[in-house]
Amino acid sequence: MKDLIEGILKFQREEFPKRSALFKHLATQQHPTTLFIGCSDSRVLPELLTQCEPGDLFVIRNAGNIVPAYAVQPGGVSASVEFAVAGLKVRDIVICGHSDCGAMTAVAMCKCLDHMPAVEEWLEHAGGARRISLARPHASDRARVDDMVRENVIEQLAHLRTHPSVAQALAEGRVDLHGWVYEIESGMIDALDGRTGKFVPLLEYPEVTATQAPA
């Protein structure tokens, strides 16, 4: 806690004055262009990763960067998605998985989660990705987890499409979907090409999106 307080004081002393005009502008309004759905993992910082300023991203974070399919009684993720798309009118939605994801490791390696029943139930939203990944051969445990991370991004994008606000925005052509996987050690990102269903280096294919599902 001491470190956090010292960080706040440093922010107020050094960083806030540099952006005082921006914060004054943001005090009564926000117009983020992107909804970023990422994992709660402490190593994944959306604003640092994308080099965005305050007000640029509307962020949802949870274990496994999961978006449950739309239900009759929507939860917090569904409400946040709806607000971002229908209320804030974001133009892009990113679902970002990452390497060495603890949630996806638990799913891929069939780890017992009896001591964390809430986590176990939450990760059922990655059940489709789990079945696809487990059906494939993998050269190593790391390869198995990496594959699970990618399949999970694909499944969560599919879930995202079930949300009425997203479906309408897609039909009207006013939002694009993006599936990313962030490699912590290298800082590189692979992006899902919706036309092929394959992940490609974002550095080489900066225009790729996941909006168009593969035929």
Largest Cα–Cα distance of the chain, in whole Å?
Answer: 54
Instruction: State how many domains the chain has.
Output: 2
Q: What is the pLDDT of residue 6?
A: 96
pLDDT over 90 at 71, yes or no: no
43 and 5 together in one domain: no
Q: Can you tell me the mean pLDDT for 86-102?
A: 98
Q: What is the pLDDT of residue 45?
A: 96
Q: Can you tell me the mean pLDDT for 72-95?
A: 94
74 and 12 together in one domain: no
pLDDT over 80 at 15, yes or no: yes
Sheet with 34-39: strands ordered across: 57-62, 34-39, 92-98, 176-182, 189-193, 198-201
- Quote the tokens at residue 101: 């994801």
In a domain, 20, yes or no: yes
- The percent of residues above 90 in pLDDT, for the chain, comes to 94
Q: What is the pLDDT of residues 176-197, one digit of tens each?
A: 999 999 999 999 999 999 999 9
* Residues involved in catalysis: 39, 41, 43, 98, 101
CATH of the domain at 122: 3.40.1050.10
12 and 117 together in one domain: no
CA distance 38 to 132: 22
Mean pLDDT, the chain, whole residue set: 95
Q: What is the pLDDT of residue 106?
A: 95
Rg (CA), the chain: 18
Q: Can you tell me the mean pLDDT for 206-212?
A: 92
pLDDT band at residue 214 under the 50/70/90 scheme: low
- The percent of residues above 70 in pLDDT, for the chain, comes to 98
Could you tell me which residues come within 8 angstroms of residue 65 by beta carbon, excluding any fewer than 6 positions away?
A: 37, 38, 39, 95, 96, 97, 98, 152, 153, 156
* Residue range(s) defining the domain that contains residue 9: 1-28
21 and 36 together in one domain: no
Could you tell me which residues come within 8 angstroms of residue 59 by beta carbon, excluding any fewer than 6 positions away?
A: 35, 36, 37, 38, 46, 47
pLDDT over 70 at 136, yes or no: yes
Burial letters 34-48, b for 16+ CB under 10 A, else e = bbbbbbebeebebee
pTM of structure: 0.94
pLDDT over 70 at 215, yes or no: no
